[in-house]
Amino acid sequence: MRWLAVLLLVASAMAGEPAARRTVPSADLAEAAIACLRPEIGATTPQVASVSGPVLIPGEGAYVLQAEPLTRARTGRIQVRVRVLLQEREVGRSLVSLHLKTLRQALVTLVPIPRGTPIGLEHLHAESVDLPPGRAEPLADPAQVVGFLAASDLPAGTILTATSRVRPHLVRPGPVTLIFAQNGFQLSASGVASAAGYLGDVVAVRRGDGKSVQGQVIGPAQVLVNY
């Protein structure tokens, strides 16, 4: 259902104009356009992109502004037709173009980040961004980004999303350090991981004596065997 807004306005002739004509101000036309969307957009404040008015109408009587959106969309650019009625007869109309912004908090790159580079706080800043329809939800929590690797070359000003980063493998198949820690003592030995693993993953590691053990990834090429 399309919303219809009706504003009743009484205007007097502007100074210097003939008494037989008066102007419906562009501001009133824009206000009527916004009012017809208000039930659906809540407290959002649209930006007025353009108004094809003001509208000249006869100089006597109270006029009514009747506004109707010309699209079902409620984000991005929306055009609203505003009709000026005088004694229930249309005496003019205007086309108001509004821009509705859907703002989200997002992490944005301050500098270019080459593909495969670990992302740090120094590379980022937070800001409110306009999220176009169909755009992936931006990442807003630094914990979702810091320490990850850039999935591709990220130019400065890139709004980060889930596809912007990949988790780094702290352990890859090959040499690792096995760590055994207990009661304040720590022993380490060499081993060979059989698979890659992220932080917290459990991987199989072959010790120097050929025996295979399970260990938890705790750092770069480091596996804790008594987790």
157 and 180 in one domain?
A: no
Q: In the listed set 149, 166, 183, which residue is the last one of a domain according to the structure?
A: 166
For residue 95, how many C-alpha atoms fall within 13 Å in the half-sphere facing its CB? 6
Give the CA distances from residue 153 to residues 88, 131, 148, 156, 161, in Å, rounded to whole numbers and listed in that order: 60, 21, 14, 10, 14
For residue 155, how many C-alpha atoms fall within 13 Å in the half-sphere facing its CB? 1
90 and 26 in one domain?
A: yes
pTM: 0.50
Tokens, residue 30: 């824009």
**Whole domain around residue 183: which residue ranges?**
174-224
The tens place of each residue's pLDDT in the chain, 227 residues long, gives 444 444 444 444 344 444 578 999 999 999 999 999 988 887 677 889 999 988 999 888 899 999 999 988 877 789 999 999 999 999 999 999 998 877 789 999 999 999 989 899 999 999 988 776 678 889 999 999 998 999 999 999 999 999 999 988 889 999 999 999 888 888 999 999 999 998 889 999 999 899 999 999 998 899 999 86
- Asked if 19 and 59 count as a contact pair (C-beta separation under 8 A), the reply is yes
Supply the DSSP string of 74-97, one letter for each residue: -SEEEEEEEEEEETTEEEEEEEEE
Split into its structural domains, the chain has a count of 3
User: Cα-flanking dihedrals φ and ψ of residue 142, to 5°?
Assistant: -55, -30
145 and 93 in one domain?
A: no
80 and 143 in one domain?
A: no
13 and 95 in one domain?
A: yes
For residue 185, how many C-alpha atoms fall within 13 Å in the half-sphere facing its CB? 3
